[in-house]
Amino acid sequence: MSGVASFVPTPLLLSDSAKARLRSLVEEEGNRGLKLRVYVTGGGCSGFQYGFDFAESVAEDDTLVEFDDVALVVDPLSYQYLVGSTVDFEEGLAGARFMIQNPNATTTCGCGASFMV
């Protein structure tokens, strides 16, 4: 070993396409205080499913992850399932959507909206 290594954990990442889409949505709403709330609920075909919503306020126990002029908000229950994940945005023939690339998921469904750990 060469010595002590420094590690800064990254709770959540936001892809460039997700930043651009979120920035666009915030501008459309005319409210710079809007943040993207990312959460996990029980259900879906793999056990848990992802959800997205806008949030104007942040609860005391929420985690706020800021990226320049946009931000993500995650509640404490969802946070444990999302640590290290990347929020992305894709547009295609099936439509446009935010999606999660989650390294903690052991299984995901075909649509990518639900997962199992």
Task: Please state the residue numbers annotated as binding site.
Answer: 45, 109, 111
Query: Burial, 23: exposed, middle or buried (Cβ in 10 Å; 0-12, 13-18, 19+)?
Result: middle
Residues in the annotated binding site for iron-sulfur cluster: 45, 109, 111
d(CA 38, CA 83): 12
- CB 72, CB 38: distance < 8 Å: yes
E-strand stretches of 1-117: 12-14, 35-42, 48-55, 63-67, 70-74, 85-92, 95-101, 107-108, 114-116
